[in-house]
Amino acid sequence: MRVPMISKIEEEVFTPRQQAVLTAALDLLVENGDGLTMTAVARRASCSKETLYKWFGDRDGLLTATVQWQAAKVRMPQVNRSSLNAKALRASVEQFARDLLTVLIGEISITLNRTAVTHAAQEKDSLGAIVLENGPMAIRRRLKPILEAGRDARLLRFDSSEDAYRTFFGLVVRDVQIRLLLGDKTLTQINVEANIEADVQTATDQFFALYGADKTQ
């Protein structure tokens, strides 16, 4: 009985067949919300329930594997931190904002976050940890050094890079994520997508207005 030892750090490897199963599970999650039953996954993936239990242990294991596998797929493009003039820094920050917003409003992200929140409502934080780790925290890990490089180059000013990052997050995400998670009908994904670019520009402008060293900004 192969029960994957899934942790936040270890990257689990799945066979193509297993990935097909996980894809089916994710599709069901996206379609049916939490209507993820073992029977449904088995039928969708054309496999037997017994196989599911052999591979993933139990329902929670399947859920965890699905979230883990999908969340890890979110690999945002690296930005070069070689050149550090003002223009390049701005472009980098802007790109981070775009990446963050694009991911967060995606249907898959919404589904994974909803699943993790639901999970967290049952005294289980494993899914939440995975989602956090692969979403906001991944962005943070990559943005922080850039911010600090910007500070070293006297292009940015802040005391705590942690605070700077979190303000950046707030400026970019605002109330979009929570509203999407809550199913706000007045905020269609299409509408949000159309405004991404403008929102990214605004957020970046505001971030530099707050943390840019150049006061004439």
Q: Which residues would be at the binding site for DNA (CB under 7 A)?
A: 17, 35-39, 42, 46-51, 53-54, 58-60
- Residue number, 41 or 101, with CB nearest to DNA: 41
123 is a contact residue toward a copy of itself (CB under 8 A):
yes
Window of 44-52, 73-81, 88-96, 124-132 that interacts with a copy of itself by CB under 8 A: 124-132
Determine the Cα–Cα distance for residues 142 and 114; give it in Å rounded to an integer: 25
Give the E-state strand segments of 23-93 in sequence order.
none
Determine the Cα–Cα distance for residues 4 and 13; give it in Å rounded to an integer: 9
115 is a contact residue toward a copy of itself (CB under 8 A):
yes
| DSSP 8-class letter at 186 | T
Q: Would you report the helix, strand and coil content of the chain in percent, each value rounded to 5? A: 70, 0, 30
Q: If contact means CB under 5 to 8 A according to the sort of partner, which of DNA, a copy of itself, none does residue 59 touch?
A: DNA
Minimum CB separation of residue 36 from DNA in Å reads 7
Which of these, 97, 67, 61, 92, lies nearest to 78 by C-alpha position? Answer: 92
34 is a contact residue toward a copy of itself (CB under 8 A):
yes
Q: Could you give the 3-state DSSP secondary structure of residue 46?
A: coil
Contacts of 28 (CB under 8 A, 6+ apart): 35, 36, 40, 41, 44
Please count the residues of this chain forming the interface with a copy of itself, following the rule CB under 8 A.
44
Q: If contact means CB under 5 to 8 A according to the sort of partner, which of DNA, a copy of itself, none does residue 158 touch?
A: none
- Residue number, 47 or 76, with CB nearest to DNA: 47
Minimum CB separation of residue 200 from DNA in Å reads 39
CA dihedral 31, 34, 38, 44 (to 10 degrees): 0
Minimum CB separation of residue 33 from DNA in Å reads 11
- Residue number, 36 or 164, with CB nearest to DNA: 36
Q: Which two tokens stand for residue 121?
A: 């409502």
142 is a contact residue toward a copy of itself (CB under 8 A):
no
- Residue number, 184 or 193, with CB nearest to a copy of itself: 184
